[in-house]
Structure 1
Amino acid sequence: MSIPVPASQPGHRAYADSVRLDTGGIVTGLREILGARLVAYLGRVSNTRSVREWAEGSRAPGADVVQRLRTSYYVAGILIECESAKTIQAWFQGMNPELDDQSPAALLRGGPLDEIGPKVISAARSFAAHG
C-alpha cells in the first residue's frame, strides 16, 4: 500500500516504494519500466531468466544486487512521474553529461553504490525537473 505523497515532493513515493517493496516487487516494477534485459544488466546477470526468477521469488539475488536494484527502482520511480518508459530506458543507457558522460546503468551496475547512487539520483531529479 502506497502512502499518499503531495505532488510538490517528486520522488518521495518512489523512495518509499523502493524501501517497502520486497525484492520481487522491485524487480517486477523495474522490468515493467526498463525491460528484462536492462534489469539483468543492472543485476549483473547475463540472462533474463534470472530476472524472471527474482520477480517470481524462486531465486534471490545477493544483497549487493538487491541494493543496486532498489536504487535503480528509486531512480526509475523519479523519472516515471514525468517521462515514458521508452525515455527512461534511453536515459538509463545513454551518456549523461551530469555523470561525466557515463550511462546511469553502467554506474549503477559497477560503481560503489554509496558514491554512485546519490549522483545518479541527483541526475534523475535534474532530468525530471529540467529535461
Structure 2
Amino acid sequence: MNDGVAGVLALVGERWALQVVRDVSLGLRRFNELEAATGAPRTVLSDRLRRLVDAGVLDTRPYQVPGSRVRTEYVLTDAGYDLLPLLSAMSDWGERHLGGGVPGDVVYRHGGCGGRVTARLVCECGQETAPRDRLIAEINR
C-alpha cells in the first residue's frame, strides 16, 4: 500500500537521516560539522547525504578554505524545508512523551516574532483539528 508514509520512511526513516536534515537547518553545512553533531560513522553519513541529495532534500555547493582543495557543503532545498514541520511535530511529541514536558535542545521558533512554533492538523476547510478528533483514512483507488 502506498500512502506516502512508506516512501517518506524509506528516505528519512533510516538512522541519522532526519538528524542530518535538522542539523543542516540549524546551519551546519560541512561534512565534518555533521559528523561531529550526529556521531554517525563516516560511511553511513556519506550514504545518508548522498541519498538526501539524490532525493532532492539537500543540495550541494562547493566551498574552499584558502590553501586547501574544493569541498562540498550541504543546503536544504524546498523539499528539505518542507520537512521542518515534521521535525517540529516530532520534537513536540518527544517533549510530551519522552522528555517529561521539558523542551529539547532544539526549539522551533517563528522568524518574525520569535514565538514557539508547533505542528497542527488543519483541514482543507480551514478548521483546526486535534489528533483525537475523528480522522478518517481512506484508500485511493
| Bigger radius of gyration | 2
The alignment's TM-score, normalised by the length of structure 1, stands at 0.29
Kindly indicate which of the two structures has a greater share of residues assigned to strand.
2
**TM-score (norm. length: structure 2):** 0.28
Higher relative contact order (CA 8 A, sep 6+): 1
Question: More helix by proportion, 1 or 2?
Answer: 1
